[in-house]
Chain A
C-alpha cells in the first residue's frame, strides 16, 4: 500500500468493461484502485502475489511491477498484470476479466437450465396433430381405425399407422366425444410408418411434454421440456436411491447378483425417477401421463440396471456388457409414470465403462464436430476421457475411485452445504483459510476442496512431491499450534480444529487420504497420457479441453494443474460445460438429428482398454506424484515451485 506523499501525482484509472473511472495517487495497486470503484477482484492468496489469480489486462498506460512467474512472457507482452502487485504509474485503461466460474452446489431445482440452447433443428420424435375425420355413413361405414389411418395419411403424409390394442379400445369413444375431431400423438417421421402414442378427443393445445433424464451413479437429473416449442421448462434432481445398495457401479453390480437384486435396483431408480416426475408435474401443473417421450442417458451399468438387463459381465474380464445399444421400449414396461405408451430411449454406450452419458456428452459438447484436436473429460467415480474431433474419436475410462466425490477420504463429503470447497494455506505461517459452501463452519471437504488443499499443501511445502507430510518443516514453521501430527493413520494435517469445525471434531487430511487422491488423479492423468500416445500427439496439441460432469463445475483449473490432474495447458483452453449428459439427452429428445448424431458417434468412438495396455501401470506410477514424475510436463508448476523456494 502506498501512502500518497504531498509531492505525489494522481492518475486516472478507467476500468473496462464497466467504464468506471477513479483518480488515485501514483503507486496505488490496481486492486486497490478497483476496490475504490466498487469493483471487487478476488485475492485468493490475500495479495501476496503468489496465486496469480487477480490478473487484469492493462490496455493503455504504464504500471510498475516486479516480474512474476504467474505470467508468461506472452501474457506480459499482452499487458496482463497481477492487480495486487502492479502499481499505477500513469493514466490507465484496465480490463477486469469476469470472475472465474466457481459455481456453487446446485440446489435441487434450477430454472437457470432454461437458458440451455438447443442448437439443433426442432424435430422431436413425437408430434401432435389435430385430425378432422369424416364421420361414417351408411354409404361409407368403413371402420374407425381405417378412417383414422386414412385421415392421418392424407394430413401428415405417413405411410401407415400402428395402433396398440389398448388405444384401439379408446378410439371409438375419442372420435365420437370429439365429434370427429381428435388430437393424435404420433411417433414417426413423414413418409415412415407412425405409431399412435395417444388419441385425445377434440383439439388439444399447450405444451407437448417430454423428458430428458440423466441417470448418474450418484444423482438423477430430469429435464422437463416442451417439445412443441423446444424449450426447457423445468428440471429436478435427486440422489439415486440405488446408492443404498452400493456407492459405485462395481458394488451395484455385485448387489445385482443377489436374488432379486437386479429387480430391486431397477425399482429403486425408477422410484427416484417417479418421485422427481411427480415433483415436476405438481410444480408445472400437468399430469405425468401428458409426458409423451423420454430419452435417458446413463453410464453402461446404469442403463443395464434401468432396463433390468443383467450387468454382471461389465465387471468381469473381458468386460463385455450385455448390450451397448438398447432397444426402444415403452414406459408401461418399465413402470415409469409417464404416458404408458410413451417411448423410452436409452442413448447408446460404447463399451462397459463408456456409456450413453458420454456419447451424449460428446454430441452436446460439440466435440464430435470439432476441426481441432479436442479432449473431453467427465470426472466422477470413473474418469471418462474422449479425444478427437470430427474425423476420429478415441475414448477410455480410468477407474479413479470415488475420492473426488469425497468417498475414501476420512473428511470427504459431497459438494453440499458445509463442504470445504477451497483451501488457502499461508506460505509462511502455514495457516489454512477455508471457503465453505453456504458460509458455515466446515463439516468436511469435497472434491474441489481436496484438489485445492492438495495443491496448496504442495506449493507451501506441507507435503513433499510424494505426498508425504513434512512434519519437521511444519513444526518449525508453526511452533506450538502445529497443525501436523502423527495420527491414527499415519501423519496428518489439521485443516480445521474441532473448535473451528461444524462437526466438533478436527477436520484432517492424512497421508492415507493424500495417497488416495494421488492415485485418483494419477489414474486420470495416466488415462489421458495413454490416449494421447495412441493418437501420436502431445498435450500441447490439444486445442481445447471440455470438462463435463458435475465435478467439472467446481474444479479449479489452476489447482487441478498444480496437482497434476489436468495437463498443463493455458487456462483459456479449458471449458466447463456442466451436465453434458443431461444436455445431450435433452437435445436427443427434441431433435431426431441430435439423436442420430449420438448414434453415429457411438458407432465411431474407438475404445481403448486401459487394462490391456501394459504401459498403464507405468504411466500411473509416473503420475502418482506431485504433480508428476516428469516435471517438464508441468512447466507452470515448475516455475511456481522455483519461485516459492
Chain B
C-alpha cells in the first residue's frame, strides 16, 4: 500500500503583525500567520481574525429596516452604538465618519474630533476610523481624527492612490495604523503598500483593504485577489504580507438580497435569514481567503462569524490532521 506523506508546505514568508489599541485600551493583534488560513498543522497562526462592528457617526436612514430595528435607539449616537456593539462581542469598532460626506451633512474636522473622542470614551476596544470616501473630505476628517486620538493606535483609512500621502503622514505623526484600499487588483494593492511604505509608514502599521465584493457581486474577484496576496506574502514578498481588512457588512447589505423583502422571487426564501447568510457567507469565504479583520453589521452575523472562527481556530496548536 502506498504510504501517505502529508504535504506540509514550507513558507519562507510571514504576514506582518499589526497591533491596534493598547496604551490603556484593549489590544488586538492581527496578522503573524506563517501559513494559509486555518491550516494549523503547517505553521503558526498566532492571532485569530478579528471582528469589527461598523458604527456610523450619524443615524443611517438608508440602512435596511432589518438592520435598523436590531440596533434600535443605539443608532442615535455613535457612542451608544459603539457601546452596544462592544456588548455584542465586537473585537473592534469600525467608526465610519459618513456625516462628513457632502450629502450626509458635510460635517468637518470638529465633528470628526468630537465623534472619535466619544467613541473612544464609550468603549475600551481598539477603533478603526474610516472616512466618507470622498478624497478631500477624507483628508480633512481623517487628519482631525488622527490628531484627536493621538497615541491610541487607531487604524485609519482609507489611503487611496490619490491621497495616501496625507493620511499616511497623519498616521506616522500620531502613532496610528494606515489602511490602504485598492480596487480588487493584486498589483495595485502591492503598489499602494510600497508607496505607503516609501512615505515612512512601517510594515507593522499597514493594513490593506483589497476591496470587498459581496456574495454574488464580485465575491470571486476579492476571494482570488486575497488568496493571491496571501500566497505572495507567505512566499516572502514583504510588500504583500500586510494583514487584510474586509468591509463585508457594507458590501453585503448594499445588495438587494440583503435589503429587500418584498417583490423578490419566492425562490430567494425568507428575507431576514437570507440577509444574515448573505453577510455571513461573504464573511466566512473571505476569512478563508485570508481576511484578518472583517467589518460586519448584523449582530447575528457577528455571532455566527465568531462561532465559526472559534471552530476554525480550534485546531491551533495541533500538528496533525
Contact = CB atoms under 8 A, between A and B. Distances in A.
- A contacts B: CB pair < 8 Å: yes
Interface of A: 464-466, 618, 621-622, 625, 629-632
Question: What band does the interface of chain B fall in when counting residues whose beta carbon is under 8 Å from A?
Answer: 10 to 19
Interface stretch (B77-85, B105-113, B189-197, B299-307): B189-197
A629 B195 contact: no
B250 interface: no
Interface in B177-207: 185-188, 190-191, 194-195, 198
Contact of A464 (B186, B190, B195, B239): B195
B237 A465 contact: no
B165 to A, nearest CB: 9
Contacts of A632: 237
Contact of A629 (B161, B191, B198): B191
A618 B185 contact: yes
Contacts of B194: 465, 625, 629, 631
Nearest to A628: B187
Contact of A466 (B185, B186, B191, B237): B191
Contacts of B161: 466
26 contacts: A464-B195, A464-B198, A465-B191, A465-B194, A465-B195, A466-B161, A466-B191, A466-B195, A618-B185, A618-B186, A618-B187, A621-B185, A621-B188, A622-B187, A625-B187, A625-B191, A625-B194, A629-B187, A629-B190, A629-B191, A629-B194, A630-B190, A630-B237, A631-B194, A631-B239, A632-B237
A211 B229 CA distance: 56
A618 B186 CA distance: 8
Nearest to B232: A630
Nearest to B192: A466
Given A465-B195, A631-B194, 6 more contacts: A464-B195, A618-B185, A618-B187, A621-B185, A630-B237, A632-B237
A464 B194 CA distance: 10
Interface string B1-33: 000000000000000000000000000000000
Which 4 A-B pairs have CB atoms at the shortest separation, nearest pair first?
A622-B187, A621-B187, A629-B187, A629-B190
Q: Which of A621, A625, A629, A630 gathers the greatest number of chain B CB atoms within 10 Å?
A: A629
A582 B191 CA distance: 41
A181 B186 CA distance: 78
Contacts of A621: 185, 187-188
A302 B60 CA distance: 62
Contacts of A466: 161, 191, 195
**Secondary structure of the B side of the interface?**
helix
Interface in B207-247: 237, 239
Contacts of A622: 187
A511 to B, nearest CB: 12
A426 to B, nearest CB: 21
A630 B193 CA distance: 12
A625 B193 CA distance: 13
Nearest to A465: B194
Contacts of B239: 631
Nearest to A618: B187
A465 B161 CA distance: 12
Contacts of B188: 621
Contacts of A465: 191, 194-195, 198
Contacts of B185: 618, 621
A390 to B, nearest CB: 35
Nearest to A617: B185
Contacts of B198: 464-465
A626 to B, nearest CB: 10
Contacts of B187: 618, 621-622, 625, 629
Contacts of A625: 187, 191, 194
A618 B161 CA distance: 17
Contacts of A631: 194, 239
Contacts of A618: 185-187
Contacts of A629: 187, 190-191, 194
Nearest to B239: A631
Nearest to B198: A464
Interface string B120-148: 00000000000000000000000000000
A618 B190 CA distance: 12
A629 B239 CA distance: 9
A348 to B, nearest CB: 37
B90 to A, nearest CB: 35
A579 B195 CA distance: 40
B27 to A, nearest CB: 32
A629 B190 CA distance: 7
A387 to B, nearest CB: 23
Interface string B162-185: 000000000000000000000001
A407 B308 CA distance: 58
A424 B141 CA distance: 41
Nearest to A624: B187
A578 B171 CA distance: 52
A284 B35 CA distance: 75
Nearest to A622: B187
A52 B186 CA distance: 34
B232 to A, nearest CB: 9
A465 B187 CA distance: 13
A630 B43 CA distance: 25
B75 to A, nearest CB: 40
A378 B47 CA distance: 52
A201 B239 CA distance: 79
Contacts of B191: 465-466, 625, 629
Contacts of B186: 618
Nearest to B161: A466
A150 B194 CA distance: 80
A512 to B, nearest CB: 15
Contacts of A630: 190, 237
A630 B198 CA distance: 15
B117 to A, nearest CB: 30
A173 B68 CA distance: 107
A109 B190 CA distance: 49
Q: Which of B186, B187, B237 gathers the greatest number of chain A CB atoms within 10 Å?
A: B187
Nearest to B190: A629
A53 B124 CA distance: 59
B202 to A, nearest CB: 15
